[in-house]
Amino acid sequence: MNQLIRYCFELLLLSALLPACQPATASEPNQDEALNLEEITIAELQEKYASGTLSAAAVVQYYLDRIAATDQSDPGLNSVLTINPDALDIARRLDEERVNGRVRGPLHGIPVLLKDNIDTGDQMPTTAGSRALEGSVAPDDAFIVKQLREAGAIILGKTNLSEWANFRSTHSSSGWSGLGGQTHNPYRLDCNPCGSSSGSGVAVAANLCVAALGTETNGSIVCPSSANGIVGIKPTVGLLSRDGIIPISFTQDTPGPMARTVTDAAIALGVMTGVDQADAKTTASEGQFKTDYTPYLDSTALKGKRIGYYTAPKGTHYKVDTLMESAMQTLREQGAEVIAIEDRLPSQTGSLSYQVMLYEFKDGLNQYFGSLGPDAPVKSVGELIAFNQADEVELRHFHQDILEQAAQMGPLDSDDYRSTVSEMQRLARAEGIDKIMATYELDALIAPTGAPAWKTDHVNGDHYTLGSSSPAAWAGYPNISVPMGFIEGLPVGLSFYGTAWSEPVLIGLAYDFEQARGARRAPEL
């Protein structure tokens, strides 16, 4: 176990065992009975807080104990990289605020975990899982973290991830980082959690927090959501600020909420929206974003809707095809018309996207290193490559060919870069999703998010069977993955995606499907 985590746990558990050091307040009722908060929702917690039957401090302690028992044990899930040493103190302060009549917002007293590429200006490092950034503390909170705190959320800690958000090697193992090691799927420990928001997906699935944040460039929210049986919302690029997030692609990156229910994910999404002058992409969200998406949670949302079934993954995995047919029957029973869509995005879209990411990865990382000031552990992509070559762990399982390719890319003011971005977006949007939805008069598109989790393999790397994240990722459009069922004990999700800023529609459709399908099932730890 990481020594920092061990040290933090010892301090936190010691404080819990010494009540004389923290006198009880009216917001901390007698919590002698063992808590069981498995599968609890935000609304249920808020009800218990309001009635005085539960305190945020007790809830935080519950999750800390559960992390120690199921995540940091041996063998464990290994999804949590760092614990916030201030978590209990923050919870107690929020309990006091509630007693004094102040409730900050819908997340008041709700413990959440952050993917460890999201800055916090506190005692927790932000590392992207890299040993090169071990101990690197950001100067301040990311924009969305500030919003979470203002809404009363308790940042419980940070989760392990695929190092550098899984954009370092073409032979990587999702969920592995040099700093955190391998994260394991809670439904079967020898199976992969998918990446790169692997730790966030596992932690939510295993009830180590109420909700978590992930980030996605292509599949990194929806894939771990599918593989771990939870809900993940990948918003329109620009709906949520990327300020203070270690980047891959200015064009495709976005953070997003991961939770056990569509309702909880929608609550977290609304808290984080808003225009941020530090992220130019968010200016386009003016007039588009909502601060509350719960009014769109409609159990009749599917009625009368035209849903396009994106058939590109069909025939890849017959068990997924069977599950998909069952899911589509659920959609029809809820009143939707399902139309098979065989149109595919032009084949060159993917290669254009990859070139865009290489350009932007180099530029974005160099800018991020610069934001850390003169004491940054590494100051450029070149220094990072050299660090990895000298380190005894970083290249143990796979190489860094993507980093090396990115290092060779030119500046973002080049004609080649600009034309590549323009062509990719034209093909993915006007000639892709927008055209398909207009041609067939669709309200949304669906596809299986992925196949069941594969066995983790550090020799050969990941074994993706299928995935449907690319169209929405290339376009920068929203995508929501919802549990649709299990294949031999492993969860599989259904993705709903559509045009820019269509989150209200997609949330409604996803909620209706979730309520009718009832596919979420907690892992047996």
Where residue 74 falls among pLDDT bands split at 50, 70, 90? confident
Give kind and range of the element (H or E) at residue 155: strand 154-159
What pLDDT score does 19 carry?
A: 33
Does the pLDDT at position 490 exceed 50? yes
CA distances from 364 to 131, 174, 228, 367 (A): 19, 22, 30, 5
pLDDT in tens, 255-287: 999 999 999 999 999 999 999 999 999 999 999
Q: What is the pLDDT of residue 451?
A: 98
The pLDDT score that the predictor gives to residue 75 is 84
- How far apart, in Å, do the first and last CA atoms of the chain sit? 19
Condensed to tens digits (0 to 9), the pLDDT of residues 451-471 reads: 999 999 999 999 989 999 999
Return the SS3 of 290: coil
Cα–Cα distance, 288 to 92 (Å, whole number):
36
pLDDT of residue 28 exceeding 50: no
SS3 content of the chain, % helix, strand, coil (to 5): 40, 15, 45
Q: Hey, which residues are catalytic here?
A: 115, 196, 220
Residue for token digits 């084949």?
Answer: 347
Q: What is the average pLDDT score of the chain?
A: 94
What is the Cα–Cα distance from 442 to 219, expressed in whole angstroms?
23
The confidence score (pLDDT) of residue 179 equals 98
- The Cα–Cα gap between 280 and 269 comes to 19
Per-residue burial over 304-329, b = 16 or more CB atoms within 10 Å of its CB, e = otherwise: ebebbbbebbbeebeebeebbeebbe
What's the pLDDT at 5? 42
Rounded CA-CA distance 177/493 in Å is 25
Q: What is the pLDDT of residue 32?
A: 37
pLDDT for the residue 331: 98
User: Which residues contact residue 40 at a Cβ distance below 8 angstroms, ignoring those fewer than 6 apart?
Assistant: 210
Task: Take residue 149 and report the two structure tokens written for it.
Answer: 């705190």
Closest CA to 83 of 216, 199, 190: 199
**Who contacts 382 (Cβ-Cβ below 8 Å, separation ≥6)?**
407
- Condensed to tens digits (0 to 9), the pLDDT of residues 355-390 reads 999 999 999 999 999 999 999 999 999 999 999 999
From residue 454, how far is each of 143, 215, 297, 508 by CA, in Å? 35, 21, 33, 31
- 339/17: higher pLDDT: 339
Note the pLDDT of residue 189.
Answer: 97
Structural domains of the chain ordered from first start: 81-86+110-525 (3.90.1300.10)
Rounded mean pLDDT, 14-39: 48
* pLDDT 10s digits, 84-104: 999 999 999 999 999 999 999
DSSP 62-127: HHHHHIIIIISSSS----EEEE-TTHHHHHHHHHHHHHTT---STTTT-EEEEETTB--SSSS---
Name the burial class of residue 105, with classes exposed (0-12), middle (13-18) and buried (19+) by CB atoms within 10 angstroms of its CB: middle
Distances in whole angstroms, Cα of residue 371 to Cα of each of 23, 377, 403: 41, 12, 20
Using DSSP, state whether 140 is helix, strand or coil: coil
* AA identity, residue 520: R
69 has a pLDDT exceeding 90: yes
Residue 172 has pLDDT above 50, yes or no: yes
**470 vs 481: CA distance, rounded Å:** 13
Given a cut of 80, whether residue 217 has pLDDT beyond it is: yes
What the block records as the tokens of 461 is 């790397």
The yes-or-no verdict on residue 438 having pLDDT over 70 is yes
State mean pLDDT over 189-211: 98
Q: Which residues have C-beta within 8 Å of that of residue 98, sequence separation ≥ 6? A: 27, 49, 56, 108, 109
Quick one: pLDDT band at residue 9, thresholds 50, 70, 90? very low
Each residue of 296-330: pLDDT tens digit?
Answer: 999 999 999 999 999 999 999 999 999 999 999 99
Q: Which long-range contacts (CB under 8 A, 24 or more apart) does 495-498 make?
A: 495/222, 495/226, 495/446, 495/447, 495/448, 495/449, 495/468, 495/469, 496/444, 496/445, 496/446, 497/433, 497/444, 497/445, 497/446, 497/447, 497/471, 497/472, 498/433, 498/437, 498/442, 498/443, 498/444, 498/445
Average pLDDT over residues 386-413: 98
Model confidence at 525, in pLDDT bands (50, 70, 90)?
confident
Per-residue pLDDT of 123-157, as tens digits, reads 999 999 999 999 999 999 999 999 999 999 999 99
